[in-house]
A and B are shown apart, each in its own frame.
Chain A
Amino acid sequence: MFHIYCPYCEELREEEEFHPKGQAHIARPEEPDTCSDEEWGDYLFFRDNPRGIHHEMWLHAVGCRKFFNITRNTVSYEILETYKMGEQPTITAEHLAREEKNAREEKTNNAQVAEGGQQTVGASDAAVASVKGAQA
């Protein structure tokens, strides 16, 4: 039992009201008649199964009945952000990797300042907490 922020209702709602609807941002081939079978097959049947950041479509089934997107961590189940259909995520795997890399570089540059045992994911957590729809 937890709450999910619906970007259309603009408030946190009970998880029971929502349904997951699979991977988001799947682009339909622009020319279905001329694209290769492999391209069409990938579009229809093949889905990502990442360890970590995943962008998913969810449906606010008992509520406004709109589809929207969720960026979710498949390891911790943490929901990093929710955003409307047609919008692009502000948090992506690349974005987090870059932040982590920056944090690591910072740490080596300021080896004297950094405290021992500091975790590099700290930086991304701070970014995550500031995003609308972040969950505790």
Chain B
Amino acid sequence: MSNSVHVYDARTDHATVTAESPLAYSFQRSGMPAPGDASGEESRAVIGERAFLGHLILRGGAIVLDEALREVLGIGLPGRPNSLTVDADGQRSVQWLSPDEWLLIVPGDETFGLETRLRAHLGGAHVAIVDVSAGQTLIELSGEAAHEVLMKSTVYDVDPHTFTVGKGVTTLFAKTSVILRRPDASRWELIVRRSFADYVYRWLLDAGEEYGIGVARESRHEPQ
């Protein structure tokens, strides 16, 4: 029964607690080399955290979830394995994770409303929606050497011709697991577990050193 599910707004926007991104400590301790800083040359790889997004895991039958998502959000579930659907303005995305599991990422302040509306629309359907926003974070990787940084880190074939736009996989990355995806031609996204975020960040700084890797300061989606 859907009315036995307790749904909480996990955002701290209106609370007195300051929200810190999973990488806040890493930025302080390991530093944030600015793009183009190191050698005075252009950085060939740039990373940046997009913190405080809303991450929802949807589990259940593809047909019922697809219908609800189209109704509520206007985008459908990706039908093929290892694929990714992004909405028109690039702010919301759904990714195939397994035959009955999808990852929905939306701007942080929409998470609770969306979850509530999805639940209302799904009624008593046999599905699960879990808010995992606090458990993982999204790191963006761009620049001409971006895929070279990835090639040093993962066994998956990240050749831009093979790993086309709209593809997303869960794979091994620097001995941990990561969700790697390509929402558009200019950038890659890595979704890492919060507890591994510092490790992945430091790995990327190290792997990207030869490309003069820089860290872009985030300007979007940060709660006050």
Interaction A to B: yes
Q: A residues engaging B (CB < 8 A)?
A: 8-11, 13-14, 16-17, 62-66
- Given A8-B81, A62-B177: A13 in contact with B171 (beta carbons within 8 A): yes
Among A8, A16, A64, A66, the residue within 8 A (CB) of B155 is A16
Pair A63/B169 contact, Cβ less than 8 Å: yes
Pair A64/B81 contact, Cβ less than 8 Å: yes
Instruction: Specify which chain A residues have a CB less than 8 angstroms from the CB of B155 in the assembled complex.
Output: 14, 16
Complex CA gap A11/B168 in Å reads: 13
User: Quick check: is B77 within 8 A (CB to CB) of the other chain?
Assistant: no
Complex CA gap A21/B215 in Å reads: 42
8 A Cβ contacts from B52-82 to A: 80-82
Determine the interface band of chain B, counting residues with CB < 8 A from chain A.
10 to 19
Pair A62/B172 contact, Cβ less than 8 Å: yes
Instruction: Specify which chain B residues have a CB less than 8 angstroms from the CB of A65 in the assembled complex.
Output: 98
Complex CA gap A8/B171 in Å reads: 14
Interface majority SS (helix, strand, loop, mixed), chain B: strand
Pair B99/A8 contact, Cβ less than 8 Å: yes
Pair A17/B98 contact, Cβ less than 8 Å: no
Would you give the shortest CB distance from B162 to chain A, in whole angstroms? 10
Pair B81/A17 contact, Cβ less than 8 Å: no
Pair A66/B172 contact, Cβ less than 8 Å: no
Closest 5 CB pairs of A and B: A64-B98, A14-B155, A62-B177, A10-B81, A9-B81
Pair B97/A64 contact, Cβ less than 8 Å: yes
Complex CA gap A41/B179 in Å reads: 42
8 A Cβ contacts from B87-116 to A: 97-99, 101
Q: B176-197 CB contact bits vs A (8 Å, 1 = yes)?
A: 0100000000000000000000
Complex CA gap A65/B96 in Å reads: 12
Would you give the shortest CB distance from A52 to chain B, in whole angstroms? 30
Would you give the shortest CB distance from B23 to chain A, in whole angstroms? 22
Pair A11/B81 contact, Cβ less than 8 Å: yes
Would you give the shortest CB distance from A86 to chain B, in whole angstroms? 12
Instruction: Specify which chain B residues have a CB less than 8 angstroms from the CB of A63 in the assembled complex.
Output: 169-171
Complex CA gap A8/B172 in Å reads: 17
Q: Kindly report which residue of chain B lies nearest to residue A11, judged by CB atoms.
A: B82
Complex CA gap A64/B97 in Å reads: 6
User: Quick check: is B25 within 8 A (CB to CB) of the other chain?
Assistant: no
Complex CA gap A65/B57 in Å reads: 14
Among B80, B156, B170, B172, the residue within 8 A (CB) of A64 is B170
Complex CA gap A65/B171 in Å reads: 11
Pair B81/A66 contact, Cβ less than 8 Å: no
Instruction: Specify which chain A residues have a CB less than 8 angstroms from the CB of B169 in the assembled complex.
Output: 9, 63
Instruction: Specify which chain B residues have a CB less than 8 angstroms from the CB of A16 in the assembled complex.
Output: 155, 172
Q: Kindly report which residue of chain A lies nearest to residue B170, judged by CB atoms.
A: A63
Pair B99/A17 contact, Cβ less than 8 Å: no
